A and B are shown apart, each in its own frame.
Chain A
Amino acid sequence: MRIRLLSVFVDDQEKALRFYTDVLGFVKKHDVPISGEDRWLTVVSPEDPEGPELLLEPAGHPAVAPYREALGADGIPLAQFAVADVHAEFARLRELGVAFTQEPLEMGGVTTAVLDDTCGNLIQLLQQPKE
């Protein structure tokens, strides 16, 4: 068994696609119309194009808003992305206007930071210690 696809709910799929590709640097993998304006829209890491996909899923279900509101108020991220250098990503993304709810923080060799994806989610960046 392998992890193939995970999803984050996004307020606006087109805006989310721009953020996840133009700002974060992922690439679009699948973009298939589903119903109305909803699309089956996934991105992957350019470093691992055959790796797990992230589905940018429409946030229309009524349970999504209270769920994300409660997690957001407590600053809890909904996904975690591995980066080589959290401090460098923090500097690069802040320059692009990305808001962080937690600046880079190093604890026990692990460095993390938490950013707002502008589509309703917090995302944690994670840098693990070099082997």
Chain B
Amino acid sequence: MADEIFKALADPTRRTILDELAESSGQTLFEICTRLSMKHRLGISRQAVSQHLAVLEAAGLVESRREGRYKFHTLNPDPLKRITERWTRPDQPESTP
């Protein structure tokens, strides 16, 4: 799990997606794309954003839920706490949840 988290965080676009989800929880893919293009001027396709979200979901950093026809994405910061505890609290070994 830790490898997936570090890999997910290694990309600046994915970190920007996390910033936006931290600002407002529960966004559709359309809203995430709008924020990346209008606010951050990132010329990035919907397909590419979708792939970034899949990487973030695999790392457990983003969760998605369906409500009726719609799918909303939320930030889950819990995996970040676990990876920092590895060094800030050395009595906690690298966890493999």
Contacts and interface: CB of A to CB of B under 8 A. Distances in A.
A114 B31 contact: yes
Interface residues of A, number: 18
Interface residues of B, number: 16
Contact of B34 (A103, A112, A116): A112
A102 B38 contact: no
A67 to B, nearest CB: 12
A102 B46 contact: no
Interface string A90-128: 000000000001110101101010101000001000000
Contacts of A77: 30
A72 interface: yes
Residue with the greatest number of chain A CB neighbours at <10 A, chosen from B38, B66, B69:
B69
A107 B30 contact: no
Contacts of A72: 69-70
A74 B46 CA distance: 9
Nearest to A109: B38
A74 B28 contact: yes
B28 A101 contact: yes
Interface of B: 24, 27-31, 34-35, 38-39, 46, 66, 69-72
